[in-house]
Chain A
Amino acid sequence: MATTRTTTVDGNEAAAAVAYRLSEIAAIYPITPSSAMGELADEWAAKNRPNLFGSVPRIVEMQSEGGAAGAVHGAVQAGSLAVTFTASQGLLLMIPTMYKLAGELTPFVMHVAARTVASHALSIFGDHSDVMACRQTGFAMLCAANVQEAQDFAAIAHLATLRCRVPFVHFFDGFRTSHEVAKITVLEDDDLRALVDPEAIAAHRRRALTPDRPVLRGSAQNPDVFFQAREACQPFHDACPEVVASTMRAFGERTGRSYAPFSYHGHERAERVVVVMGSAAETVRSAVDHLVAHGEKVGMLQVRLYRPFAQQLLVQALPACVRHIAVLDRTKEPGAPAEPLCLDVIAAVTAAGRDGGAPWAAAPQVVGGRYGLSGKEFTPAMALAVFTMLQQQPRHGFTVGIVDDVSHSSLAWDQDLELPHPGRKEAVFFGLGADGTVGANKNSIKILGETTDLHAQGFFVYDSKKSGAVTISHLRFGPEHFEAPYLITRAAFVACHQFGFLDKYDVLELAAPGATLLLNAPFPPERVWDELPVEVQQQILARRLHVFAIDAAAVARDAGVGNRINTIMQVCYFALAEVLPRDAAIASIKAAIEKSYAKKGAEIVRRNFAAVDAALAHLHPIVVPEKTTASRHRPPAVAAAAPDFVQRVTGAMLAGKGELLPCSAFPPDGTWPTDTAKWEKRAIAAAVPVWDAAICIQCNKCTLMCPHAAIRAKVYPPEAAPAGGAELPFQQWRGEEFAGRRYTIQVAPDDCTGCGLCVQVCPAKDKQNPRHKAIEMTPLRAVQAQERARFETFLALPEVDRTTVTKLDVRGSQLLQPLFEFSGACAGCGETPYLKLLTQLFGDRLLIANATGCSSIYGGNLPTTPYAKDGNGRGPAWANSLFEDNAEFGLGMRLSVDALGSRAGKLLHNLASALQADTLVADLLEPAARSEAWFVEQRARVGALRDRLALLATPEARELELLADYLVPKSVWLVGGDGWAFDIGYGGLDHVLSLSHDVNVLVLDTEVYSNTGGQASKATPLGAAAKFAAKGKAVDKKDLGLMAIHYGHVFVASVAIGAQDAHTVRVLREAEAHPGPSLVIAYSPCIAHGYDLVFGADQQKRAVQSGVWPLFRYDPAQIDRGEPPLIVDVPGGRQSVAEYMRNEARFAMVEKIDPAGFRRYAAGAQQAAVRRMAVYQHIAQLRFPHGTAAPAATAAGTKTDTGKE
């Protein structure tokens, strides 16, 4: 009967394992934090793992969550058992279909890793704002509070929906539960088989749409019948709670794990009760246990079945003597009298009084409050604060977990309080994303969870950067079962896997007194103490920490495992933490290595074994002296020169102290200053490029290709070099336009990620020693001080006068100031060079609508933003709306800019005579010449206009003062990835392109959903392995460019900056100059392609030369010049597609899985490239009669197109 087999999994896997077994069809779409559920389902299906019914579920990735909902709707209507997985905005896109599914009483389950819905900002972390937006759809809603429940409730949802016909949302907290790794008892196939009702499945089959028993669903009804028919379903919803309860009882009998729709826990005569749902229930439970142990009459009610909300069951579950109830909601509904769970509880209490059956003599007072938005920590101390509030002065509308000094809603809590947890071992590990710390810790949990009787939990905190990202692993082990859905604050073991973190973060804040501190230190043991900053030495002494150190990087290097120090540090952890006998631990680590890497070949196993074997010999205790000896202090998070906001707010966030910022620190509407990345000096590169002026040929390719604007060029008069600054190496500028000026290339050493792309593309070699180029990667430590000083001096040099850069080619464009700098994108990112170039060309008049994805994360994920300002305070204005609506969002910007421009023009006309300004008005209204000089002159004219307006005292003059800047044309760009442009946003993009408005679309095509982890999109090429296409994509990518060409009036181009940089510069300028819509599709190498991105430019060349990425421009203006509008700049066909494919793991891995398949794909891709080029060459031959160009837009700012023709 009940099994006791345990496993260690995260919440997503726990839920997916059940959903997969009980489903026949899954339609999915990636969205954090639920993506893993769909990925696992796809992975299992790819391995032909059967479901409970002996068939392999069919998995289909759709173009959006709306599409996934539609597909599962069809699947269940046609009689199958279907499932989907989603979160946040994705869930919101499913809402229309959810009404249908519920209205048609369709058994169905969707599993949701509940996540914040974007409002003033996007957040990938967990709260209930998404699921609460579905509470009115008619779906039943079942909430799991931990990983075990995520598995169990997945089953209960699938079982109950078949019995009651009401579809279910099964949800659990995003990240906190979806990503927590915990030891759970496995629900075996036999358990599911025993619980599933074959008759209920048969009944579902009998309701299937089939021409053998034809019926019609989805009719249109009129006022005569709709209302009655809508009410006819009510008995099913009424019956649902009891179906859930009885399913839970049957489940309990089978498994020994008992649940109920509402579970009370606490004193049987509790007077104060907290009602809560989700993982926070576990936190409140610990607080209740603590208080009850201290004699207090308190309790908590955990809501598990949220819809249908069974009022009577809730009331029955509460103790009769309850006086005060606090309802905790993990969502915010501005304008509502209370958050939804609170309103439901109030309604239940009221109903008990109204309808009878209330257990209490006097109805309890109910107050509601908010906690935990966007994954905000919710600790036992916060739960205690809620009980204290109920005791002292119940108040409605409170918040807990933040300091609200704006509305003063927040409860104070004891931030130092930690409930005792005897026997439990807690450890915290600070790692670098690339060093494998998280992977090793997941592995440690598996070792301890699956080879001992210990209970285990792991939770992992990531930062918002994609390069040099910090990870913090929180691991707990204990002999007793525990649930602790909050971070560790007093760890008995703290490991710092990167020595530099000690300068940036308060690592030891989490160390308990007497804790063990393990450092990965690139020094001999006798030097480690002296290398620590004073603050860290003080903490070690004050907390009496036991310090150990290892030069793990050296051990890793010697063992040949690169920078993967993970297993080395893991061995040290096991040796020091004594959670397992040392030999047993090492044997388990080796067994895990063998299991993980056996398929990757003996060499990888051998190297990792070597690393494990060498670890302990290099682990040394550090002698801690009696007092501090260091004179070095931890540097401030941001420089003293930073603006006030950056000091107060950004600085705190950078130091990891954002939690402490009060509400008043923040703008209330999500508006945030730009130009802040420059204050975040991350110094994450191991090596940075250093310029050798003697060799450079001034091509500026290095600065063009740098993804982070961390290597720059300037021309400047000799006298401009600031006095007292570092001496800069320089050359005389070679060229007529800046004769006599100096030229310098300079790296920003603390902002470089060390990707090496600049050196790779540098064509200038030392003639005596060609290995030495004009720039050479040099260890950061050796040159940091020198290059830092030089960069400071370099920044003080004047920027070039844009009007003097007459040739805007690769060389010229790179003299312009980049207004996109130092982003957190991956080292070697293939997207960011395009964005940087965009800001160099048009940055001071640029509006960007950015679709959600990588570019919105490195573009707008706090604490800082890479979008910057020039010396005049101008720069890109940037906003992200959603993933799916970006084209429309950008169009809206265009419409608004045009409308305000028109208004400014009209006001100017009206005020023309009053201004008494001779030709000024006429000059201002002249069509834009679009040269840099014209923009400077136009801005000067606007300045003159403002001077004149100041003399006028009319309302019109004031309004024109406000709008005068719109007389300078703006450049509107719609930026996003292929997931947006090819899939979820395609409908909107297509529509926007079909209009004539002057918007420019830049598609950063990585050929996968990069941000969510490399899922296939319609841009994924034939034969590439991607998630949801593990064996290689079976069809070639959509030709978005060709589709847009067919409109006729759209400027369309395909570029690859690493293959033909000059082409890219030219295309961006032509696209911007095109008066109608333009579409630029940009080849963007990505970590999801599976190769070292230092070779990104080489690989782009292969793509272009082979023809899989032809370079072309379709310029409608060519028609009136009597030329064919399509110009094929590089047709390819100069090397084999297979050669291109073999250089990327995404293709090559297919060869490893299925060599014949790879050959088939390679041949197919070759044929597709030839076929595509044949079509292009055909179009490129077409000459149209003069005057037959499709109607183009008129000059910017004067459009009236409604788009309604």
Chain B
Amino acid sequence: MDLSTTYLGLQLPHPFIAGASPLADNVDRARALEDAGVAAIVLRSLFEEQIDAEALAHHDAAASHADSHGEATTYLADPAACVFGPEAYLEHLHAVKQAVGVPVIASLNGYTYGGWIDYARRIAAAGADALELNLYYVATDPAESADELEENAVDIVRDVKHTVGIPVAVKLSPFYTSLANFAHQLEAAGADGLVLFNRFFEPDIDVENLEVRTHMEMSRSHELLLRLRWLAILSGQRSCSLAVSGGVHTAHDAIKAVMCGAHCVQLVAAMMRSGTGVVGELRAAVAAWLQEHGYESLRQMRGSMDLSRSPDPKAYERGNYMRLLQTYRSD
């Protein structure tokens, strides 16, 4: 069965790629991913804010006690030898690229304009096959309007595209007022692909100690539904690549995503839970399903259930919610 697909212009033998995660945090694990059969690898995000925060914390730790007592002018070993910046990430990217044959997609989360552009340039120079811009941002400032936020993002995408020659995907959150419009703007700015969706760290509450606990819950299949809706909506509207991220755990999940328009399926939780072998299982199961259902290829199936082609397009829209409410019975 022909499972091949094109994502960000990259020709992939099948749609299953490793999503941004610790799965490829070292070269051996990246090799293992390739051995398990992933079609491409997305590296964990390079977080500009974290780099700066670490640098500032180290700087404070070293500087706040320096030159203040006669017995010692410093208290930490030669902090000048510590390099704070994207170097370690770039070296890792380079090493993974050397070690594997599959495409390697870097991921970037900036928080300053300069950071987005400069780090994107350096990532491209380090050999990434593509770049995923991770627009992970929780807007809490009431002075920051939706327009400003979206304009900034669009500017960044446009300028990154002007800076680098590799394909650029944008990883989105679902929390935009008009996601369809925003996706349109991103594509107009040059985005080669959209990744649906980012998953935020969702803080939990410790009621005994009145504390906030932050931790990352791995995705479950039910989270796919939100993604299916937006894949379906955007698939007919946009000509750029679409990737699903979050909620694909079974062959049926993957089939649904592709039917709604996904060019590729990013796997993280499924591999973390079940091991990298799940890639092969999913690939085989999807192929078998296609075979069984008389499809010729994956491409034939892609987008078949999107907004433009679905037999019931209204189902993806607001009316669906209304009807559900109207038909709801407490018994």
Residue B114 at the chain A interface, CB threshold 8 Å? yes
Looking at A460, A1028, A1086, A1145, which has the most chain B CB atoms within 10 Å of its CB? A1145
Which A residues touch B75, using CB under 8 A? Answer: 1010, 1013-1014, 1086-1088, 1090
Which A residues touch B209, using CB under 8 A? Answer: 763
Residue A438 at the chain B interface, CB threshold 8 Å? yes
Residue A436 at the chain B interface, CB threshold 8 Å? yes
Tell me whether A857 and B84 are in contact in the complex, defined as CB-CB below 8 angstroms, given that A562-B60, A1091-B61, A1145-B62 are known contacts: no
Decide: A603 and B74 in contact? CB cutoff 8 A.
no
Decide: B69 and A433 in contact? CB cutoff 8 A.
yes
Decide: B58 and A33 in contact? CB cutoff 8 A.
no
Partner of B58, one of A43, A46, A600, A1159: A600
Which B residues touch A604, using CB under 8 A? Answer: 52, 55-56, 59
Decide: A599 and B83 in contact? CB cutoff 8 A.
yes
Residue B311 at the chain A interface, CB threshold 8 Å? no
Instruction: With both chains docked as a complex, state the minimum distance between the C-beta of A780 and any C-beta of chain B, in angstroms.
Output: 19
Tell me whether A765 and B68 are in contact in the complex, defined as CB-CB below 8 angstroms, given that A600-B84, A1026-B77, A1149-B77 are known contacts: no
Tell me whether A1014 and B77 are in contact in the complex, defined as CB-CB below 8 angstroms, given that A35-B72, A438-B67 are known contacts: yes
- Cβ-closest chain A residue relative to B65: A1087
Interface residues as binary, A432-446 with B (CB distance below 8 Å gives 1, 0 otherwise): 111011110010000
Residue B85 at the chain A interface, CB threshold 8 Å? yes
Interface residues as binary, A595-617 with B (CB distance below 8 Å gives 1, 0 otherwise): 01101111110000000000000
Interface residues as binary, A1171-1193 with B (CB distance below 8 Å gives 1, 0 otherwise): 00000000000000000000000
Instruction: With both chains docked as a complex, state the minimum distance between the C-beta of A930 and any C-beta of chain B, in angstroms.
Output: 38
Decide: A46 and B65 in contact? CB cutoff 8 A.
no
Decide: B54 and A1148 in contact? CB cutoff 8 A.
yes
Decide: A471 and B67 in contact? CB cutoff 8 A.
yes
Which B residues touch A465, using CB under 8 A? Answer: 69
Decide: B76 and A33 in contact? CB cutoff 8 A.
no
Those of A752-804 within 8 Å (CB) of chain B: 763, 765, 767, 770
Interface residues as binary, A1075-1098 with B (CB distance below 8 Å gives 1, 0 otherwise): 000000000001110111000000
Residue B210 at the chain A interface, CB threshold 8 Å? yes
Which A residues touch B59, using CB under 8 A? Answer: 597, 600, 604
Give the CA-CA distance A433 to B75 in the complex, in Å. Answer: 13
Tell me whether A1152 and B61 are in contact in the complex, defined as CB-CB below 8 angstroms, given that A33-B70, A602-B114, A1012-B71 are known contacts: no
Those of B103-126 within 8 Å (CB) of chain A: 112, 114-115, 118
Instruction: With both chains docked as a complex, state the minimum distance between the C-beta of B211 and any C-beta of chain A, in angstroms.
Output: 8
Instruction: With both chains docked as a complex, state the minimum distance between the C-beta of B312 and any C-beta of chain A, in angstroms.
Output: 48
Partner of B73, one of A469, A1013, A1028: A1013
Instruction: With both chains docked as a complex, state the minimum distance between the C-beta of B27 and any C-beta of chain A, in angstroms.
Output: 10
- Cβ-closest chain A residue relative to B58: A1145
Give the CA-CA distance A1185 to B157 in the complex, in Å. Answer: 76
Instruction: With both chains docked as a complex, state the minimum distance between the C-beta of A488 and any C-beta of chain B, in angstroms.
Output: 18
Partner of B67, one of A433, A602, A826: A433
Which B residues touch A1159, using CB under 8 A? Answer: 26
Tell me whether A1013 and B72 are in contact in the complex, defined as CB-CB below 8 angstroms, given that A597-B59, A1092-B60 are known contacts: yes
Which B residues touch A436, using CB under 8 A? Answer: 63, 66-67
Interface size class on chain B is 35 or more
Which A residues touch B211, using CB under 8 A? Answer: 770
Give the CA-CA distance A1028 to B78 in the complex, in Å. Answer: 10
Decide: B74 and A1149 in contact? CB cutoff 8 A.
no
Give the CA-CA distance A599 to B57 in the complex, in Å. Answer: 14
Instruction: With both chains docked as a complex, state the minimum distance between the C-beta of B190 and any C-beta of chain A, in angstroms.
Output: 25
Decide: A1090 and B71 in contact? CB cutoff 8 A.
no
Give the CA-CA distance A437 to B64 in the complex, in Å. Answer: 11
Residue B82 at the chain A interface, CB threshold 8 Å? yes
Residue A662 at the chain B interface, CB threshold 8 Å? no
Residue A324 at the chain B interface, CB threshold 8 Å? no
- Cβ-closest chain A residue relative to B205: A770
Residue B139 at the chain A interface, CB threshold 8 Å? no
Instruction: With both chains docked as a complex, state the minimum distance between the C-beta of B65 and any C-beta of chain A, in angstroms.
Output: 5
Residue B80 at the chain A interface, CB threshold 8 Å? yes
Give the CA-CA distance A33 to B73 in the complex, in Å. Answer: 10
Which B residues touch A175, using CB under 8 A? Answer: 70
Give the CA-CA distance A692 to B23 in the complex, in Å. Answer: 48
Those of B79-112 within 8 Å (CB) of chain A: 79-85, 88, 92, 112
Looking at A466, A1028, A1087, which has the most chain B CB atoms within 10 Å of its CB? A1087
Decide: B58 and A1149 in contact? CB cutoff 8 A.
yes
Tell me whether A1030 and B81 are in contact in the complex, defined as CB-CB below 8 angstroms, given that A602-B114, A1013-B71, A1145-B61 are known contacts: yes
Which A residues touch B115, using CB under 8 A? Answer: 602
Those of B219-254 within 8 Å (CB) of chain A: none
Decide: B71 and A1152 in contact? CB cutoff 8 A.
no
Those of B156-180 within 8 Å (CB) of chain A: none
Residue A686 at the chain B interface, CB threshold 8 Å? no
Decide: B57 and A1145 in contact? CB cutoff 8 A.
yes
Which A residues touch B62, using CB under 8 A? Answer: 1090, 1145
Instruction: With both chains docked as a complex, state the minimum distance between the C-beta of A1163 and any C-beta of chain B, in angstroms.
Output: 12
Partner of A1155, one of B55, B60, B64, B88: B88
Residue A163 at the chain B interface, CB threshold 8 Å? no
Which B residues touch A47, using CB under 8 A? Answer: 81
Instruction: With both chains docked as a complex, state the minimum distance between the C-beta of A1129 and any C-beta of chain B, in angstroms.
Output: 22
Which B residues touch A346, using CB under 8 A? Answer: none
Residue B51 at the chain A interface, CB threshold 8 Å? yes
Decide: A460 and B67 in contact? CB cutoff 8 A.
yes
Instruction: With both chains docked as a complex, state the minimum distance between the C-beta of B6 and any C-beta of chain A, in angstroms.
Output: 34
- Cβ-closest chain B residue relative to A560: B56
- Cβ-closest chain A residue relative to B91: A1155
Tell me whether A36 and B73 are in contact in the complex, defined as CB-CB below 8 angstroms, given that A46-B78, A1148-B54, A1155-B88 are known contacts: yes
Tell me whether A434 and B64 are in contact in the complex, defined as CB-CB below 8 angstroms, given that A597-B59, A601-B52, A601-B55 are known contacts: yes
Instruction: With both chains docked as a complex, state the minimum distance between the C-beta of A541 and any C-beta of chain B, in angstroms.
Output: 33
Which A residues touch B80, using CB under 8 A? Answer: 596, 599
Give the CA-CA distance A1155 to B84 in the complex, in Å. Answer: 12
Residue A693 at the chain B interface, CB threshold 8 Å? no
Give the CA-CA distance A462 to B66 in the complex, in Å. Answer: 12
Give the CA-CA distance A717 to B118 in the complex, in Å. Answer: 68
Tell me whether A469 and B84 are in contact in the complex, defined as CB-CB below 8 angstroms, given that A436-B63, A1088-B76 are known contacts: no
Tell me whether A826 and B56 are in contact in the complex, defined as CB-CB below 8 angstroms, given that A32-B70, A1012-B72, A1152-B84 are known contacts: no
Decide: A434 and B65 in contact? CB cutoff 8 A.
yes
Which A residues touch B61, using CB under 8 A? Answer: 1087, 1090-1092, 1145
Residue A304 at the chain B interface, CB threshold 8 Å? no
Decide: A1152 and B88 in contact? CB cutoff 8 A.
yes
Interface residues as binary, A1001-1040 with B (CB distance below 8 Å gives 1, 0 otherwise): 0000000001111100000000001111110000000000
Which B residues touch A857, using CB under 8 A? Answer: 71
Decide: B68 and A471 in contact? CB cutoff 8 A.
yes
Which A residues touch B54, using CB under 8 A? Answer: 1148
Decide: B210 and A770 in contact? CB cutoff 8 A.
yes
Give the CA-CA distance A1027 to B75 in the complex, in Å. Answer: 8
Partner of B74, one of A765, A1013, A1148: A1013
Decide: B82 and A1029 in contact? CB cutoff 8 A.
no
Tell me whether A1014 and B84 are in contact in the complex, defined as CB-CB below 8 angstroms, given that A564-B63, A601-B51, A1148-B54 are known contacts: no
- Cβ-closest chain B residue relative to A1151: B88
Interface residues as binary, B204-222 with A (CB distance below 8 Å gives 1, 0 otherwise): 0000011100000000000
Decide: B77 and A462 in contact? CB cutoff 8 A.
no
Give the CA-CA distance A464 to B68 in the complex, in Å. Answer: 10
Question: In the complex, given contacts A599-B82, A1030-B81, A1090-B76, what are 15 additional A-B residue pairs having Cβ atoms less than 8 angstroms apart?
Answer: A599-B83, A600-B58, A601-B85, A770-B211, A1010-B75, A1013-B72, A1013-B75, A1087-B61, A1087-B65, A1088-B75, A1145-B58, A1145-B76, A1149-B82, A1152-B58, A1152-B82
- 22 A-B pairs (CB sep. < 8 Å): A32-B70, A35-B72, A43-B78, A46-B81, A124-B70, A175-B70, A433-B67, A436-B63, A439-B66, A439-B67, A462-B70, A465-B69, A471-B68, A604-B55, A767-B210, A826-B65, A1013-B73, A1027-B78, A1145-B61, A1149-B58, A1152-B82, A1152-B88
Cβ-closest 7 pairs across A and B:
A433-B68, A1013-B72, A438-B67, A601-B55, A770-B210, A1090-B61, A603-B52
